[in-house]
Structure 1
Amino acid sequence: MGRYFRRKLLIYGVTFFIAVTINFAIPRLMPGDPVARMLNRHSVSNSESAAALRTYFEDVFGFDVPLWQQYLNYWTALLQGDLGVSVFAFPSPVSSVVLDALPYTIGLLVPAILLSWIVGNGLGAMAARSKWLDNSVLPLGYLLTAVPYMWLAILLVWSGGVLLDWFPAARGYSLSMQPNLSWAFFVDLVHHWFLPFLSLFIVALGGWAIGMRNLVIYELESDYSNYLQALGAPRRLVRRYAFRNAMLPQISGLALQLGVVVGGALVTEVVFAYPGLGSLLLNAINNQDFFLLQGILLFIVIGVLLFNFLADVAFVLVDPRTRLGLEGGQS
């Protein structure tokens, strides 16, 4: 089993290296000049002052050296935990800007992913055993899966935030409040959090319900289920085995869906003007902020790789056949 995880870590390491290299290249392929944008923000009209400021900003951002040296400097700084200085929030470091927004994105993603996975699997398993529930869950599940995150987010903003005025339509907390550890701020935070969370939860729910429903039906019609029933095993026991075997592909599917859900979360944050990585990413693109863009994408890459690795570990721990196969392969 140790050899298996070492091989997995090597694969994730190579993936991380390629992702970081692409992360370095993409912002520099974008049109625009971040230094020129900085000069425009400072409204510099004198040519000598503009030249001096350009030299200063190019030195700060490391644009005064060849591209290959920028790449080596990027890796050196990255290994030291230095993500550079933000153009958009100059002179704040990128790590500080990203860490301020990261809790909002995690607060959306983790509950939406876990709750949609748990509830969706439960509904799908029940739909496989109930004809009435199957006739209602299956069409609704297909409908929810086809709904784009952005469209549903806009619909929730219009209905819940504008038409009914039950929830705030934008921001992470009220303008009249400052972040603190008080109960009033927590309630206000949850009040603003609910609609973005609901949009992510609803779309992901349908896919998990359909997947589990189909897997449970397949397991109930398999040879081992028919054999158990022929031996007189209780129906509940057969269903339990079917559910456990159907869960294994769902664990793998959870890792595969993480990238899609993360992308949906970023778009949802833009729609709700939620102060997470999505809104920050939009500001970074609009301001040609290379370092902030790299920092955000780096955190996303690390998060997706980490969750995929945890899903691999969970799969090995849940499935005894996988453990036996790994142990047998090492002996």
Structure 2
Amino acid sequence: MGRYFRRKLLIYGVTFVIAVSINFAVPRLMPGDPVARMLSRNKVANPESSEAMRAYFDNVFGFDVPLWQQYLNYWAALFKGDLGVSVYAFPASVSSVIAGALPYTLALLLPAILLSWIVGNSLGAMAARNKWLDNGVLPVGYVFTAVPYMWLAILLAWVAGVILGWFPVAGGYSFALTPTFSWVFIVDLVHHWFLPFLSLFIVALGGWAIGMRNLVIYELESDYANYLQALGAPRRLVRRYAFRNAMLPQITGLAVALGMVVGGALVTEVVFAYPGLGSLLLSAINNQDFFLLQGILLFIVIGVLVFNFLADVVYVLVDPRTRLGLEGGQS
């Protein structure tokens, strides 16, 4: 297993280098000039002052050196933990800007993904062996999966926020409050959090339920399940083996979903004006903030690689066939 994980780490290391290189190149392929945008916001009328400010900002952001040197400087700063200075929130650092938005996204996405995964897989497994439940879960699951994030978010905001007035429809907390560790602020935070969480939970729930239902049915019709039934094995035992085998692809799906913490939340956070990484990513794109965009995408890359590596570890622990394959490969 040591050789197996060393090989995996090598693969993930090469993938990380390629992904970070693409992460460096993509913002620079975007049209426009972030420094020119900054100067246009400042509205400097004097050409000499404008040129001086242009030279200053080019030096601050490292644009005054060739592209290949910018690439090397980017890697050198990355190993020091320096993600650069944000163009959009100048003079704040990218790390501080991301740190301010990250807790909101994690508090929104992790519960939504984990709870939808647990509930969806449970419903899908039960629907695979219960005809009446299957007739209800399958159509509802298809409806939930087909609903776009934006449409559901707008619908929830309109019904529960505007018509019924049960929940606020914008912000991470009330503007009249100051963030503190008090019950008043925590309750208000959860009040603003619930609708964005619910929209992500509902859409993800349908996909997990349908996927698990189809996988369990496939496993119950496989050769080993028929062989166990022919030997007189209890039906509960056959279903347990089918469930464990069907869980393996779902573990991979969970790893990818946990890694992609921003993608699913982008539209939802924009609809609810929720101050997470999704809204921050949109602001970085609109303001051509190379460094903030690189920092957020780097977070996504690291998340995907880390959670996929954890999925590989879980595979070895959960699936005996993987351990037997590793032992056979070493022998």
> Could you state the TM-score of these two structures normalised by the residue count of structure 1?
0.96
Q: Could you say which residue in structure 2 is the equivalent of 1:181?
A: 181
1:190 aligns with 2:190: yes
Answer whether contact 1:150 1:264 (CA < 8 A) is retained: no
Q: Could you say which residue in structure 1 is the equivalent of 2:144?
A: 144
> Counterparts of 1:260 and 1:211 in 2: how far apart (Å)?
19
> Counterparts of 2:253 and 2:213 in 1: how far apart (Å)?
14
> Counterparts of 1:262 and 1:82 in 2: how far apart (Å)?
21
Structure 1 residue 261: Cα displacement = 6.3
Q: Could you say which residue in structure 1 is the equivalent of 2:253?
A: 253
- Distance verdict in 2 for CA 1:151–1:259, change over 3 Å: farther
Structure 1 residue 262: Cα displacement = 3.7
Q: Could you say which residue in structure 2 is the equivalent of 1:10?
A: 10
Answer whether contact 2:260 2:300 (CA < 8 A) is retained: no
Answer whether contact 1:281 1:293 (CA < 8 A) is retained: yes
116-125 or 178-187, which moves further after superposition? 178-187
Structure 1 residue 231: Cα displacement = 3.2
> Counterparts of 1:307 and 1:218 in 2: how far apart (Å)?
26
CA deviation string 1:58-101 (max 9, x = no partner): 11001111111111111111111111111111111111111111
Q: Could you say which residue in structure 2 is the equivalent of 1:320?
A: 320
Answer whether contact 2:105 2:261 (CA < 8 A) is retained: no
> Counterparts of 1:143 and 1:11 in 2: how far apart (Å)?
38
Q: Could you say which residue in structure 2 is the equivalent of 1:28?
A: 28
Specify the code of the residue in structure 2 equivalent to 1:24: F
CA deviation string 1:90-127 (max 9, x = no partner): 11111111111111111111111111111000000110
Q: Could you say which residue in structure 2 is the equivalent of 1:124?
A: 124
- Distance verdict in 2 for CA 1:83–1:266, change over 3 Å: same
Answer whether contact 1:200 1:261 (CA < 8 A) is retained: no
> Counterparts of 1:301 and 1:225 in 2: how far apart (Å)?
39
CA deviation string 1:21-46 (max 9, x = no partner): 11111111111211112212222111
> Counterparts of 1:35 and 1:229 in 2: how far apart (Å)?
70
Instruction: Look up the SS of the partner of 2:215 in the other structure.
Output: helix
Match runs of 1:223-302 below 5 Å: 223-258=223-258, 262-302=262-302
Give the CA RMSD over aligned residues.
Answer: 1.5
Structure 1 residue 268: Cα displacement = 1.2
114-123 or 243-252, which moves further after superposition? 243-252
CA deviation string 1:3-60 (max 9, x = no partner): 1111111111111111111111111111121111221222211111111111111110
> Counterparts of 1:61 and 1:256 in 2: how far apart (Å)?
33
Answer whether contact 2:259 2:307 (CA < 8 A) is retained: no
> Counterparts of 1:246 and 1:37 in 2: how far apart (Å)?
52
Q: Could you say which residue in structure 2 is the equivalent of 1:218?
A: 218
Structure 1 residue 260: Cα displacement = 6.1
> Counterparts of 1:281 and 1:34 in 2: how far apart (Å)?
15
Answer whether contact 1:200 1:265 (CA < 8 A) is retained: yes
> Counterparts of 2:37 and 2:219 in 1: how far apart (Å)?
59
- Distance verdict in 2 for CA 1:148–1:262, change over 3 Å: same
CA deviation string 1:199-226 (max 9, x = no partner): 1111111111111111112222223323
31-40 or 274-283, which moves further after superposition? 31-40
Could you list the runs of 5+ residues in structure 1 that have no partner in the other structure? Answer: none
1:43 aligns with 2:43: yes
Q: Could you say which residue in structure 2 is the equivalent of 1:110?
A: 110
Match runs of 1:62-73 below 5 Å: 62-73=62-73
> Counterparts of 1:227 and 1:190 in 2: how far apart (Å)?
51
- Distance verdict in 2 for CA 1:259–1:144, change over 3 Å: farther
1:208 aligns with 2:208: yes
Specify the code of the residue in structure 1 equivalent to 2:195: L
Instruction: Look up the SS of the partner of 1:78 in the other structure.
Output: helix
Structure 1 residue 229: Cα displacement = 2.8
Structure 1 residue 257: Cα displacement = 4.2
- Distance verdict in 2 for CA 1:260–1:149, change over 3 Å: farther
Instruction: Look up the SS of the partner of 1:167 in the other structure.
Output: coil
